[in-house]
């Protein structure tokens, strides 16, 4: 079945550091890929998405590129802020299905 694997957290960075959160997936066909963010005490918010190979999703300084050859969708940001502290979820939605399949989430903590 479909699955998403994310790097284990928590990840602790200093402000202005470079962020990478790895995400790889297994799916039949050509899924759409998403990154959702969950701030403390809140629900899931879409951060960015990509719907086909080589697409780059970007938002709020975050970006991720859909790499079909490596089945990956790694999240990156050049300079993190304390306000980026949250849990980040990689997810996929396979063609023909309704559900999102999520990874386990990676907690990011950014310190001054």
User: Do 19 and 29 touch, CB atoms closer than 8 A?
Assistant: no
Binding of another protein at residue 57 (CB under 8 A)? no
Judged by beta carbon, residue 4 or residue 19, the one nearer another protein is 4
The CB-of-81 to another protein minimum distance in angstroms stands at 22
Question: What is the residue whose two structure tokens read 């950014």?
Answer: 110
Binding of another protein at residue 100 (CB under 8 A)? yes
Per CB under 8 A, the list member of 25, 35, 36, 66 interacting with another protein is 36
The 3 state secondary structure assigned to 11-67 is EEEECCCCEEECEEEECCCCCEEEEEEECCCCCEEEEEEECCCCCEEEECCEEEECE
Looking at residue 80, the DSSP 8-state letter turns out to be: -
Judged by beta carbon, residue 57 or residue 80, the one nearer another protein is 57
C-alpha–C-alpha distance, residues 44 and 42, integer Å: 7
Binding of another protein at residue 43 (CB under 8 A)? yes
Per CB under 8 A, the list member of 25, 34, 73, 88 interacting with another protein is 34
Binding of another protein at residue 103 (CB under 8 A)? yes
- Point out which residues bind another protein (CB under 8 A): 30-32, 34, 36, 42-46, 49, 51, 89, 91, 93-105
């Amino acid at each position: 079945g479909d699955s998403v694997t994310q790097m284990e957290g928590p990840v602790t960075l200093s402000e202005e550091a470079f962020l990478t959160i790895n995400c790889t997936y297994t799916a039949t066909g050509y899924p759409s890929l998403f990154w959702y963010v969950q701030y403390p005490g809140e629900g899931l918010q879409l951060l960015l998405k990509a719907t086909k190979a080589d697409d780059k999703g970007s938002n709020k300084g975050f970006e991720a590129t859909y790499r079909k050859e490596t089945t990956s969708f790694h999240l990156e940001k050049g300079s993190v802020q304390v306000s980026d502290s949250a849990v980040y979820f990689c997810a996929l939605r396979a063609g023909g299905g309704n559900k999102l399949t999520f990874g386990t989430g990676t907690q990011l903590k950014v310190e001054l």
